Amino acid sequence: MSLTSEQVLQALSAVNDPELGRDVVTLGMIKDLTVQGGKVRFTLELTTPACPVKEELKASCQQAVAALAGVESLTVELSARQRATRPALGSELAREVKNLLAVASGKGGVGKSTVASNLACALAAEGARVGLLDLDVYGPSIPALLGLKHGELAYHEDTQLVAPMEKFGLKIMSMGFLVPPGQSVIWRGPMLHGQVDFFFRKVHWGELDYLVVDLPPGTGDVQLSLSQLVPLGGAVVVSTPQDVALGVATKAINMFEKLKVPVLGLVENMSYYACPHCHQRDDVFGHGGARETASKLGVAFLGEIPLNSQVRQAGDEGAPVVVARPDSAAAQAFRACARLTAGRLSVAAVEGTDALKSNLLPVP
């Protein structure tokens, strides 16, 4: 009896996506399956181009099918269709953005902008279309971190909306492009709301898989406006080990729960000292605090970013460390964190946000 597509699908239904906890057939990831004699061919359609487990998943599919009797040749192509956490109805602002990802912290100086810019670059490097919006209206640092200057904005020809700046494969917008350096803005809540609205209504973002939003520190008007204006796919909370101990991260997580924004996970920045000379690791501030806090609060732990002068230097020179030194320990940590974050957004998109609670990641 010759091989049938049903048999192939049956075999593939034993392959689970480890991130999403469902099999690849149920998830609709098997496309264009053809079986001709013993020749099997199909496309494995990932839920995001930044899929953290693409090679592993492809290998599992190959293994499952190769084990069938009568398979002579097997071709598996990889493709990706970005799933959206964005609901079908609701806010019309930035409709073509599939996932809005906020990066937040309970206080300043923990490395939020550093994490936001590196996450954005890491997602773009995986092949996703990524934007980076700096909403830290009081202290916009994204322009400096990416080596961009005030006053270089242009208009998008067709729409006459403001065109975001482009660098490192990202579309970038910041208050820092509008206000001359050294000048400060003093705004009340309604003005801030108007400004956040402007960044969505008057900027031509175009189609994006992810828009990473760098928030001001704390729990204030900008956070509130943002969550009212657009549906956020999720938030990544950044903390240093000391702030974890002081409960600052917990406050930020609680805020998002109140705003009904799913918390994708907690990142520990300046987690340990990675010596660039001897490559030894020193847990300057103790170890494991953020991991424990995450598990206590029922949120995923997205990784530890080392405290390393290369991270600061890269920022000072206007190129995030994942671009400037892609082989460094810090860049690897950022990439791992970006992949886990993308995976979490896919979980939320495919299975709904409740799945984020019940499907915590294995601790990396």
Ligand X SMILES: Nc1ncnc2c1ncn2[C@@H]1O[C@H](COP(=O)(O)OP(=O)(O)O)[C@@H](O)[C@H]1O
Picked from Mg ion, ligand X, none, the partner binding residue 293 (CB below 5 to 8 A depending on kind) is: none
Picked from ligand X, Mg ion, none, the partner binding residue 303 (CB below 5 to 8 A depending on kind) is: none
Picked from Mg ion, ligand X, none, the partner binding residue 305 (CB below 5 to 8 A depending on kind) is: ligand X
Answer for which of 141, 219, 250, 271 binds Mg ion (CB under 5 A) is 141
Nearer to Mg ion, 17 or 136 (CB): 136
- Cβ distance 241 to 271 under 8 Å? yes
**For binding to ligand X (CB under 6 A), which residues are involved?**
105, 108-114, 141, 269-270, 305, 307-308, 311-312, 315
211 DSSP 8-state letter:
E
As a whole number of angstroms, the distance between CA 223 and CA 87 comes to 20
262 DSSP 8-state letter:
P
Binding marks (x or -) toward Mg ion, 93..112, rule CB under 5 A?
Answer: -------------------x
Picked from ligand X, Mg ion, none, the partner binding residue 339 (CB below 5 to 8 A depending on kind) is: none
User: Which of these segments, 9-17, 45-53, 130-138, 338-346, binds Mg ion (CB under 5 A)?
Assistant: 130-138
Q: Least distance (Å) from ligand X to the CB of residue 335?
A: 14
DSSP per position, 292-336: HHHHHHT--EEEEPPB-HHHHHHHHTTS-HHHH-TTSHHHHHHHH
For 90, 116, 179, 181, 198, the CA distances from 175, given in Å and listed in that order, are: 26, 16, 6, 10, 11
Nearer to ligand X, 231 or 315 (CB): 315
Q: Which of residues 239-258 bind Mg ion (CB under 5 A)?
A: none
Nearer to ligand X, 27 or 314 (CB): 314
- Cβ distance 338 to 364 under 8 Å? no
Q: Least distance (Å) from Mg ion to the CB of residue 294?
A: 22
CA proximity to 212, closest of 283, 250, 267: 267
Nearer to Mg ion, 269 or 346 (CB): 269
Nearer to ligand X, 232 or 333 (CB): 333
Nearer to ligand X, 17 or 243 (CB): 243
| 174 near Mg ion, judged by CB under 5 A | no
Q: In what order do the strands lie in the sheet with 263-268?
A: 165-167, 170-174, 130-134, 210-214, 100-104, 234-239, 263-268, 301-304
Nearer to Mg ion, 112 or 291 (CB): 112
Nearer to Mg ion, 11 or 104 (CB): 104
Picked from Mg ion, ligand X, none, the partner binding residue 49 (CB below 5 to 8 A depending on kind) is: none
Q: Least distance (Å) from Mg ion to the CB of residue 215?
A: 8
Using Cβ positions, the residue closest to Mg ion within the complex turns out to be 113
| 117 near Mg ion, judged by CB under 5 A | no
128 burial via Cβ count (<10 Å: 0-12, 13-18, 19+):
buried
| 113 near Mg ion, judged by CB under 5 A | yes
CA proximity to 303, closest of 356, 249, 245, 236: 236
What burial letters (b/e) apply to 46-62, b meaning 16+ CB within 10 Å?
bbbbbbbbbeebbebbb
- Contacts of 113 by beta carbon, 8 Å cutoff, 6+ apart: 134, 136, 141, 142, 145, 214
Picked from ligand X, Mg ion, none, the partner binding residue 308 (CB below 5 to 8 A depending on kind) is: ligand X
Judged by the rule CB under 5 A, the positions of this chain that interact with Mg ion are 112-113, 136, 141
